[in-house]
Structure 1
Amino acid sequence: MEEEASAAVVEEVNNMKQEEEEKETTNFSKPIDVVELTTEELIAKAIAPVKKQFLRPPPVRSTTHSFSNEKPLSSSNIVKEKKSKRQSKRERREEQKSALHLCPEVAKAGNVFACRYGLKCRFSHDVEAYKAQKPADIEGNCPFLNLDGQCPFGLSCRFSGTHKVEDPEDALKVQKKAEVNGLKKDVQKLLWKNKTKFPKADAQLKLLGLLNKSKTKDVEVEEEEGDQATLNGCCADSKDNGVQVNCDSVCKEESFNKVPVEEGSLDDLVAIDDPQPPKKAKIEVVDNSCSSEKDNGLSSVKEGSEEIHTQTQVEKITADTYSAEADKSLKLHPREKKLVDFRGKLYLAPLTTVGNLPFRRVCKSLGADITCGEMAMCTNLLQGQASEWALLRRHSSEDLFGVQICGAYPDTVARTVELINRECEVDFIDINMGCPIDLVVSKGAGSSLLTKPMRIKNIIQSASSTVDIPVTVKVRTGYFEGRNRVDSLISDISQWGASAVTIHGRSRQQRYSKLADWDYIYQCAKKAPDVLQVMGNGDVFSYLDWNKHLSDCPELSACMIARGSLVKPWIFTEIKEQRHWDISSGERLNILKDYANFGLQHWGSDTKGVETTRHFLLEWLSYTYRYVPVGLLDVIPQRLNWRPPSYCGRDDLETLMASESAADWIKISEMLLGKVPDGFTFSPKHKSNAYDKAENG
């Protein structure tokens, strides 16, 4: 009986799945006939109202995902063999030894003796074999041709045929890098070994009482040259005055050998003899009953005047400490140090994957005023991961530049901002408290912090007190839809030390679906104190949107532009010139050419750099196809949540740019970067669900 019941349940589930598949197939095979709908009906369904003469008849769509150029019948493209780490590492080493992986030093100099590692080098030194197997050069000039010095990729450059015959003096010139904020090797080694010191961050964490809270582990205090490193500020050994200090009378309940540290922090602890030790740690307590006598003539501490003097000193330092904590005016407030004026400026939002340095250069050339790097995870930065530090790179054209970091604990964030301020050239640091990605939220970072106001307070206070550059915050309206809470924190955010806050008008639960709630953003901006700059974010896609938000709420400092710049990066030009730019397909292709050129300068002009540039170009094209030219619309301007129907452009290139097929995006990339390698496939990383359902609009 049980077997029959279970079989019936399985059959019922299979039938339900089959019905759902048939329903989905029916929906895909019968798309909406946009030709028969009126303009008002199209807008109500969040479909871009394209003029009738440009519309195509509705095609019969298959169930295959349109974003992928993979063949659905090929099992090799669907099922991939899972390799072990050892096998993958062995294959990478064998690939590096192949003739196609020429040593960078040999390629640059064209001489096999240029590499200092000689036969121990992990790359190939066979120049002739490399030339025989090297792919054909790409049409166009080397991206480093107009810059001073020789091409840093030499023989491996895919544009090597355009290299000039250099004089011996010119050959000695080295390309001047226009990019800064690279990770230094000595700094990376210290981060790897967990030996980096953070005196400023640890001092502020100690002052705020955040360094002694333990959750998982205890850290032993190091002894260096006989001096005891102290974190609780109650006892220390002094080598200069020869007085030995006993801590039993001061910290009866604290452990002398172990100091607990909050989970998520590093093991590097600040010693009392660091260059900038906290004042609270310099407290010497003398107890006559437990002090020992030295053979060098220093006997026990005299009673009377010296004991009274020591007690008075302790009381004075303690009083100063409590006074500094009680009166924030005694220390330099972040707003009194350095300010970044966001008011009225065009702010390019930090964009994951697509918001790389070449894309920011494109937006900068089109009118962006402020740029911000992609979100970097604090833990990865503190571990010295080169891929994460690459997100902090800055180009010389970015005159007002900030970086965005994301962390779950005050100690990791405070130490990260100190490290960035010490090693990088940035104008401000933005802390992300609104990222909706599950992987980030599950670690307690991003929008998860919106449910923990005390954690937000500790993070902002410790970070803003550690560095002398402005610290800004980016948040969402709340964690759950319909339960907004930023308005109750907006005044506190300013008191905690943030100089600006950006509010994305959606909750974490909404992700990017539905329209942004600008009324709530206005409400928060009106509640904010005058010293706090408030910026709104969400669905800004034309200069009319920009004008409306700033006129409806004068308290709003500026609008952050995110996905609108991905679909049409010339939105910055439109806002500055106050017009709808009916940009031609040729002008759009020139923008893509600039991006490809910037990408080759950033990632390299060799084969690896070309394919990296192609990958990120295709990621960007997965957004740009959503743009509908102004001359094709019945209603202007286009809204960000409108889905473009299938239409023909005014020329073949415009039609190709409007395609939602990845195969057509690859054709565009081949116009700029040459033919793709054999077996190349692409599927975009980001698929915003704002375009999946009409009711999202």
Structure 2
Amino acid sequence: MAEGTAEAPLENGGGGDSGAGALERGVAPIKPQYLTTKEQFHQFLEAKGQEKPCRETEVGDSAGNDLAEPEAKRIRLEDGQTEDGQKEEAAEPREQPQTQKRARGQNKGRPHVKPTHYDKNRLCPSLIQESAAKCFFGDRCRFLHDVGRYLETKPADLGPRCVLFETFGRCPYGVTCRFAGAHLGPEGQNLVQEELAARGAQPPPVRNGLDKALQQQLRKREVRFERAELALRRFSQGQPPGPTPAAAVPEGTVAKGAPRQDNCGAQQVPTGLGTSTPPSSPVRTCGPLTDEDVVRLRPCEKKRLDIRGKLYLAPLTTCGNLPFRRICKRFGADVTCGEMAVCTNLLQGQMSEWALLKRHQCEDIFGVQLEGAFPDTMTKCAELLSRTVEVDFVDINVGCPIDLVYKKGGGCALMNRSTKFQQIVRGMNQVLDVPLTVKIRTGVQERVNLAHRLLPELRDWGVALVTLHGRSREQRYTKLADWQYIEECVKAASPMPLFGNGDILSFEDANHAMQTGVAGIMIARGALLKPWLFTEIKEQRHWDISSSERLDILRDFTSYGLEHWGSDTQGVEKTRRFLLEWLSFLCRYVPVGLLERLPQRINERPPYYLGRDYLETLMASQKAADWIRISEMLLGPVPPNFVFLPKHKANAYK
């Protein structure tokens, strides 16, 4: 019985039990007593839950006709055609019928407001870091140096508790903290809890930061990439990209008298070892001399990546930030990966790009995802990461469908550029000391699958693991993921492990996906809609989570965000922005107790419904103004000039 239930979301998606027949296909089957109309839904929210309008049990009433008509028919009627396809005579001019079409894709022209825009008067960083005797900027400083004047214009505190002060014993933002009342003394001095501060100093909870000295070297192009240049030189000479032979190593790069190791693992004793005379002067050792900079690790020496059967949180752009990953780890995610980072930006030392590589101490299996189109930049970036960051694997993004990446030859375009793709994979493998993984799609064009031909080549090139998203680039995120094709690709990739990705929103979906023979599953949008999905899969149950529990999750996210981005005005507004981006996905979740048929399908849009309490109804709203209202419950009122438009048009169901 459970097996049949699990097959439905992956084969027919919108189908279900006969009880859901009152609604059109593609609409979540909600119990009739909870259904309402658009007008009554927003009227209820505007009244702040004080007055409950009577619920509409009939979905096809006048105000709810947008659910009664199929999508294609609804668009045809809006364009001025009758049901038989004839042109309707214009009795009255219509007002912009194109506004009725569903929005798709990204909001590319949205206003960009920097967090510093909300700080009219900014205090000098030297005062914040309690080094007022020496200003970092000298006479050119354009920041305030008068703490009293700053406090006169500073907005009121947002709350009595400071997360940083309670967690680490000291808030590094001092008087600029929006919760400064919790840790400022009577004379405005920043208080410190010595015991907590000493405990929080070691080890640091977040790793993989960019050192200032390294950043300057990257910006001035002073960093050398010996191993990457050696690998690229071999490609340009047409030599096979195998292990580096002894003849290819430049003279003088291996310590004299050091034992060499051939490809089979046998040590060769260098000549003249027994005849050398000891030096007359005393020799002082300065540490071990290794050859890691010129001799790459053999595959058997690399760290192995064994994540079969584990739950893998996808590297989600914008929403897959460190605070969100901490939420998912708490609910049972086993493997996490940073957001997609562009290799050229990393090589230029951009702080915003390096921030995507940061790793929290709770992320025990963590990787970073790189995007690039050319072997030289990708290989150099891989060598840079192998020196500077602590990761368990490096992933190549060959599944990104956006035009900005595709037109430059990256993302999905690499599936059609096999020569460059091979050079990227082999070059990165030669300089990395951790496993290399790849994320791909079924292909570029719809119904033209490429993955089954590419997977054996990736296996031969030395890839440790591949994740396959069951859609093509043209499909983006529409239609259903093709898990039958993923099952075919599992056989083509064997014995290399293959993870499947697409349309996992319940433990039934996960069970059906595992029946295809994949080594594991990657969860993307399902984690955005309900991060407790990892718990449901591991415990094999549906969790009818309450609205107060969901608010507690958001409260934890804001605490993690303030800890990660800061508790000053900039940090608060950056936390708010990422919270709002996440809420644009969370609003699509339908509580278990309201559904006629379980589980909820990821391709089913929720109709207008009234939840079991006001907060549950508010969380179901698809208006950005209501998301802002939720953020104000957690982070206080927004600034007067606050503007927000979601990056992804997840509120396309207006």
- After TM superposition, the score normalised by the length of structure 1 is 0.70
The match for 1:55 is: 35
Aligned to 1:460: 425
Q: Select the residue among 111, 131, 135 that pairs with 2:155.
A: 135
CA displacement at 1:162 relative to structure 2: 1.1
**For residues 509-548 of structure 1, what are the structure 2 equivalents within 5 Å?**
509-530=474-495, 532-548=496-512
Whichever residue aligns with residue 49 of structure 1, its letter is P
Change (3 A) 1:502 1:108: same
- Asked whether the 8 Å contact 2:443–2:449 carries over to 1, the reply is yes
Question: CA-to-partner distance for each residue in 1:157-211, whole Å, 9 max, x for gaps?
Answer: 0111111754696799696341111111111111111121111112222233379
Equivalent residue in structure 1 for 2:177, among 157, 160, 163: 157
Q: Measure, in 2, the Cα distance between the counterparts of 1:188 and 1:679.
A: 34
Query: How big is the shift at 1:585?
Result: 0.2
SS in 2 for 1:146: helix
How many Å separate the matches in 1 of 2:326 and 2:193? Answer: 33
The equivalent residue for 2:304 is: 339
User: Is the 1:512–1:688 Cα contact (8 Å) retained in structure 2?
Assistant: no
Structure showing greater Rg: 1
Match of 2:59 in 1: none
Cα distance, 1:40 vs. partner? 4.0
Residue 480 of structure 1: which of 403, 425, 445 is its match? 445
Give the corresponding residue for 1:659: 621
1:647/1:412 CA distance change after superposition, 3 Å: same
Match of 1:320 in 2: none
- Structure 1 SS opposite 2:440: strand
SS in structure 1 at match of 2:167 = coil
Who is 1:29 aligned against?
none
Where in structure 2 are the equivalents of 1:382-393 lying within 5 Å?
Answer: 382-393=347-358
Q: Distance in 2 between matches of 1:582 and 1:623?
A: 18
Match of 1:436 in 2: 401
> Contact between 1:372 and 1:401, CA under 8 Å: does it hold in 2?
yes
| Distance in 2 separating the partners of 1:496 and 1:125 | 58
Quickly say closer, same or farther: Cα 1:618–1:79, change in 2 above 3 A: closer
- Percent of residue pairs bearing the same amino acid type: 51
Paired with 1:654 and 1:79, the residues of 2 have a C-alpha distance of 29
Q: Identify the residue that residue 647 of structure 1 maps to in structure 2.
A: 609
Amino acid corresponding to residue 371 of structure 2 in structure 1: C
Q: Pick from 368, 377, 400: which aligns with 1:403?
A: 368
Name the aligned partner's letter for residue 569 of structure 1: P
Contact 2:452 2:489 in 1 (8 A): yes
**CA apart distance, 1:459:** 1.2
**2:284 — aligned with what?**
none
> Is 1:148 the equivalent of 2:110?
no
Alignment counterpart, residue 673 of structure 1, candidates 625, 635, 640: 635
> Partner amino acid for 2:462?
G
Aligned to 1:199: 226
State whether residues 544 and 591 of structure 2, in contact with CA within 8 Å, keep that contact through their aligned partners in structure 1: yes
* CA separation of 1:163 and 1:419: change in aligned 2, threshold 3 A: same
Shift of 1:147: 2.4
Q: Superposed, which structure 2 residues align to 1:354-369 within 5 Å?
A: 354-369=319-334
Shift of 1:116: 4.8
Q: Answer yes or no: is the 8 Å Cα contact 1:346–1:369 preserved in 2.
A: yes
- Cα–Cα, structure 1 residues 173 and 40, in superposed 2: closer, same or farther, change >3 Å? closer
How far apart are 1:361 and its partner, in Å?
0.7
Q: Does 1:421 align with 2:347?
A: no
Name the CA distance, whole Å, in 2 between partners of 1:156 and 1:493: 51
The residue that corresponds to 1:45 in the other structure is 25
| Cα separation, partners in 2 of 1:331 and 1:590, compared to 1, 3 Å | closer
Structure 2 partner of 1:230: none
Query: How many angstroms apart in 1 are the aligned matches of 2:336 and 2:369?
Result: 11
Q: TM-score, normalised by structure 2?
A: 0.75
Cα 1:162–1:79 shift into 2, 3 Å: closer
| Partners of 2:168 and 2:196 within 8 A in 1 | no
**Offset, 1:607:** 0.4
Pairing partner for 2:468 from 485, 498, 503: 503
Task: Report the CA distance shift for 1:654/1:99 in structure 2 as closer, same or farther (over 3 A).
Answer: closer
Distance 2:444 2:521 in 1: 22
- CA displacement 1:569-622 (0-9 Å, x = unmatched): 100111111110000000000000000000001110000100000001000000
Which of 629, 632, 635 pairs up with 2:591? Answer: 629
The DSSP-based 3-state class of the residue aligned with 1:344 is coil
Cα deviations by residue, 1:100-143 (Å, 9 ceiling, x for unpaired): 2002331243x743645454434221101110011110124111
Q: Is the 8 A contact 1:335 1:470 kept in 2?
A: no
1:561 equivalent among 493, 508, 523: 523
Q: Is the 8 A contact 1:418 1:467 kept in 2?
A: yes
Distance 1:402 1:526, change over 3 A: same
Q: Distance in 2 between matches of 1:276 and 1:511?
A: 53
Instruction: Give the conservation status (yes or no) of the 8 Å contact 2:296–2:431.
Output: no
Q: Distance in 2 between matches of 1:174 and 1:677?
A: 35
- Deviation of residue 332 (structure 1)? 5.2
Cα separation, partners in 2 of 1:132 and 1:367, compared to 1, 3 Å: same
Q: SS of the residue aligned with 2:630? A: helix
Q: Secondary structure at the match of 2:217?
A: helix
CA distance in 1, matches of 2:194, 2:433: 44
What amino acid maps onto 2:125 in structure 1?
Answer: P
Change (3 A) 1:331 1:363: closer
Question: Secondary structure at 2:574's aligned position in 1?
Answer: helix
Q: Which has the higher contact order (CA 8 A, sep 6+)?
A: 2
Of the three residues 449, 465, 468, the one matched with 2:414 is 449
8 Å contact kept, 1:151–1:175: no
Would the aligned equivalents of 2:501 and 2:523 in 1 still touch at CA under 8 Å?
Answer: yes
Question: Does structure 1 conserve the Cα–Cα contact (< 8 Å) formed by 2:170 and 2:192?
Answer: no
- For 1:249, the equivalent position in structure 2 comes to none
3-state SS of paired residue (1:473): strand
Provide the alpha-carbon RMSD of the alignment: 3.4
Q: Are the equivalent residues in 2 in contact too, given 1:370–1:400 (CA < 8 A)?
A: yes
1:112-123 equivalences under 5 Å are: 112-113=132-133, 115-123=135-143
> What pairs up with 1:297-376 in 2 under 5 angstroms?
333-334=298-299, 336-376=301-341
Residues 271/408 of structure 1: CA separation in 2 closer, same or farther (3 Å cut): farther
Q: Is the 8 A contact 1:401 1:426 kept in 2?
A: yes
Whether the 8 Å CA contact 2:329–2:362 is kept in 1: the answer is yes
Name the counterpart of 2:542.
580
Change (3 A) 1:134 1:548: same
Q: CA deviation at 1:43?
A: 6.7
Cα pair 1:180 1:395 within 8 Å, conserved? yes
1:546–1:580 CA distance, 2 compared to 1 (3 A):
same
Partner of 1:684: 646
SS at 1:622 equivalent: helix
CA contact (8 A) 1:211 1:411 kept: no
Aligned counterpart, 2:283: none
Partner of 2:236: 209
CA separation of 1:609 and 1:272: change in aligned 2, threshold 3 A: farther
Partner of 2:214: 187
Cα contact 1:362–1:595 (8 A) shared by 2: yes
Distance 1:692 1:463, change over 3 A: farther
In 2, the alpha carbon distance for the partners of 1:331 and 1:198 equals 13
Can you give the 5+ residue segments of structure 2 that lack an aligned partner in the other structure?
A: 1-16, 40-62, 67-94, 104-108, 186-190, 240-245, 257-294
- Which amino acid in structure 2 is aligned with residue 595 of structure 1? F
Distance between the aligned counterparts of 1:619 and 1:460, measured in 2? 33
- Distance in structure 2 (CA, Å) of the matches to 1:604 and 1:65: 40
In structure 2, how many angstroms separate the alpha carbons of the residues matched to 1:194 and 1:65? 51
CA deviation digits over 1:191-244, x for unaligned, max 9?
1111211111122222333799xxxxxxxxxxxxxxxxxxxx999xxxxxxxxx
Gaps of 5+ in 1: 1-36, 69-77, 83-87, 213-232, 236-269, 278-329
